[in-house]
Amino acid sequence: MSRTLLVMFCLAVGLMVLACGNPTNRNGTATTSTASAPAASPAASTAATVTASADKIGVPECDAFLTAYESCVSNKVPAAARAQFQAGMKTWRTEWKKLADNPQTKAGLVEACKKQHEASRTQLNKAYGCTL
């Protein structure tokens, strides 16, 4: 029962993060915020890399998903929507780290991360052209 609740919680959080993201540029035309993003990208991706490496979950499936998700958000999501996605990543890291630290919930976390990866792969590919 606790594994089912864990999976449902992770999926619900992931879907809320994706649903709250408002893709402002689906047709691929350049906007002001997108045009200014490349200048800020190296600093943002460096900060994101530092954050990702410092906050490893300790479950390879979760760490791989978060690394791929973070790369997509940093490189493909318009700056106007990026903060929402980053807030979702922060929540996942915090909650998944707590679950990974508990031997009783760690086993269920592997499946939850795999399911979140699949759900996010579909959504981010459609919305932003990301391949997770």
What's the DSSP call for residue 3?
H
Note the pLDDT of residue 36: 35
More confident residue, 19 or 132: 132
Q: Which residues contact 63 (CB under 8 A, 6 or more apart)?
A: 56, 57
Tell me how far apart the alpha carbons of residues 62 and 68 are, in angstroms, rounded to a whole number.
10
Give residue-wise pLDDT tens across range 97-128.
Answer: 999 999 999 989 999 999 999 999 999 999 99
Give residue-wise pLDDT tens across range 56-96.
Answer: 999 999 999 999 999 999 999 999 999 999 999 999 999 99
The answer to whether 109 and 103 are in contact (CB under 8 A) is no
Tell me how far apart the alpha carbons of residues 19 and 94 are, in angstroms, rounded to a whole number.
20
